[in-house]
């Protein structure tokens, strides 16, 4: 017998027929004798509808009331799944985040989980009950519902798995695992059997949409073995109930991966913008004077490149931001012009960031050189480069994104292994 947390995303519970299919997945694990908790998202499209209603009611709405509205989507799904399970003879009960309770901070709309007492759910397990929990939400210090931000049900599931010391957390979605790259761009992309927490964190943060970044962070900190699985697979197909190796991709400790590939995957993020400040005075505190105010404006700065002039008096500072934040970033920089002392600010949208990721890069030389040569052979110009221990990110012009992804996927042999 094992303790399992199962999470189902919006497309998995889009209508009653799919909710019945989800219930079959849950019943399979219950019939196998496992202790099960289920975390659900809102039905596909429902959160967008609720967000639209709040904006229609008032463009400048109270964040606390926004949370009260948008959290209702998950509550509906939890109730419907509990009813369906009961109809199948499974002892199930729905619970909202505040009833567990999932305690969060006070950042309504983007709250972070502070604490979950697993005793409430463990008591449910002891009673043979399947707890169906509304994801994406908890309760803040002000005693009001607080939501965790888009994709927050993934975070709810991993946090609950950590709280109850689950043997594994299964994230059911509309794909059957984590792939070496986006199969819509590269048909030869392969599903990975295993990927390390560190690699998955990089892939999630660099554009892969399989899991929310914060959920991977939680899984890594608490060492929660996490499977990414497809809810559209036949619940009764052979191997679906395999306790140790069900179909899908296991996200786990690096030590569990026996044969580590040099490169694990290629991620990409479109709609990046490049901003350059020319002839900035090169003196202590300049970088803080630029990036501090941008951070205060909640602008996420990514790649940063600095070029010092030959005489050492000036520097050019180039960095990237999401395209949607360009105008806001330029407004902040304009206010800072007198204090920073730059000559001119230039911006260009339509960039893409393509990243090569792999824990094997730690012990292999020449990985970056291979990427640069492959892109040069395809006449793809590199605008900026950043590296870490297990990744290389390259900024290129947006129209070359798909060609770059396919080129790098092929040059590292990801389509052949």
Q: Is 342 annotated as a binding residue?
A: no
179 is in an annotated binding site: yes
The strands making up 344-357's β-sheet, listed across from edge to edge, are 304-308, 314-322, 265-281, 344-357, 391-397, 384-388
Give dist(CA 124, CA 3) in Å, integer: 12
The torsion defined by the Cα of 101, 212, 298 and 323, in degrees rounded to 10, comes to -150
282 near 312, Cβ under 8 Å? yes
Contact yes or no for 86/101 (Cβ under 8 A): no
265-281 and 344-357: which strand pairing?
Answer: antiparallel
- The helix (run of H) or strand (run of E) holding residue 93 is strand 92-95
124 CA to centre of own chain: 29
Looking only at the bridges linking them, the beta strands covering 314-322 and 304-308 are antiparallel
The answer to the question of whether 47 is labelled as a binding residue is yes
Q: What are phi and psi of 319, to 5 degrees?
A: -150, 170
Distances from the Cα of 384 to the Cαs of 273, 276, 304, 368, in angstroms?
12, 12, 8, 13
Give Cβ neighbours of residue 291 (< 8 Å, ≥ 6 apart).
Answer: 301, 304, 319
Residue 224, marked binder: no
Question: In this structure, are residues 174 and 127 in contact, taking their beta carbons and an 8 Å threshold?
Answer: no
Q: For residue 249, say whether it is annotated as part of any ligand binding site.
A: no
Question: Is 314 labelled a binding residue?
Answer: no
The reply to whether 89 sits in an annotated binding site is no
- Token pair 């400790």 is found at 253
Give the separation between CA 87 and CA 381, rounded to whole angstroms: 59
Cis ω before 230 (30° cut-off from 0) = no
Q: What is the largest CA-CA distance in the chain?
A: 78
The H-assigned helical ranges of 206-346 are: 213-222, 286-296, 326-340
Answer yes or no: is 387 a known binding residue. Answer: no
Known binding residue 210? Answer is yes
209 annotated ligand binder? yes
Which amino acids are annotated as binding site for substrate, given as ranges? 47, 74
Which amino acids are annotated as binding site, given as ranges? 7-10, 47, 74, 173-174, 179, 184, 209-210
Which amino acids are annotated as binding site for ATP, given as ranges? 7-10, 173-174, 179, 184, 209-210
């Amino acid at each position: 017998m094992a303790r399992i947390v199962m999470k189902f995303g919006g497309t998995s519970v889009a209508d009653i027929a799919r909710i019945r299919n989800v219930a079959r997945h849950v019943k399979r694990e219950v019939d196998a004798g496992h202790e099960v908790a289920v975390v659900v998202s809102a039905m596909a499209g429902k959160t967008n509808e609720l967000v639209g209603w709040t904006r229609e009611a008032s463009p400048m709405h109270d964040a606390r009331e926004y949370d009260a509205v948008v959290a209702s989507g998950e509550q509906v799904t939890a109730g419907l799944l509990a009813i369906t399970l009961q109809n199948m003879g499974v002892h199930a009960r729905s619970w909202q985040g505040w009833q567990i309770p999932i305690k969060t901070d006070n950042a309504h709309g983007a709250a972070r989980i502070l604490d979950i007492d697993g005793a409430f759910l463990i008591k449910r397990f002891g009673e043979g009950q399947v707890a169906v929990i509304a994801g994406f939400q908890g309760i803040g210090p002000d005693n009001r519902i607080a939501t965790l931000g888009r994709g927050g049900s993934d975070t709810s599931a991993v946090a609950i798995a950590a709280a109850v010391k689950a043997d594994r957390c299964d994230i059911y979605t509309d794909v059957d695992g984590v792939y070496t790259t986006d199969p819509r761009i590269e048909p030869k992309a392969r599903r990975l059997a295993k990927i390390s927490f560190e690699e998955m964190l990089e892939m999630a943060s660099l554009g892969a949409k399989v899991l929310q970044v914060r959920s991977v962070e939680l899984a890594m900190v608490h060492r929660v073995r996490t499977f990414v699985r497809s809810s559209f697979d036949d619940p009764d197909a052979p191997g679906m109930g395999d306790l140790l190796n069900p179909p899908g991709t296991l996200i786990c400790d690096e030590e569990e991966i026996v044969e580590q590939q040099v490169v694990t995957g290629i991620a990409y993020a479109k709609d990046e913008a490049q901003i350059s400040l020319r002839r900035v005075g090169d003196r202590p505190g300049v970088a803080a004077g630029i990036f501090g105010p941008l951070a205060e404006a909640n602008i996420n700065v990514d790649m940063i490149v600095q070029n010092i002039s030959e005489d050492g008096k000036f520097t050019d500072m180039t960095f990237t931001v999401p395209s949607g934040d360009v105008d806001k970033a330029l407004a902040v920089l304009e206010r800072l012009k007198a204090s920073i002392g730059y000559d001119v600010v230039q911006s260009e949208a339509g960039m893409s960031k393509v990243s090569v990721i792999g824990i094997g890069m730690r012990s292999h030389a020449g990985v970056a050189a291979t990427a640069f040569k492959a892109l040069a052979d395809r006449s793809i110009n590199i605008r900026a480069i950043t590296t870490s221990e297990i990744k290389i990110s390259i900024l290129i012009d947006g129209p070359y994104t798909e060609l770059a992804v396919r080129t790098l996927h092929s040059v590292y042999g990801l389509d052949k292994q």
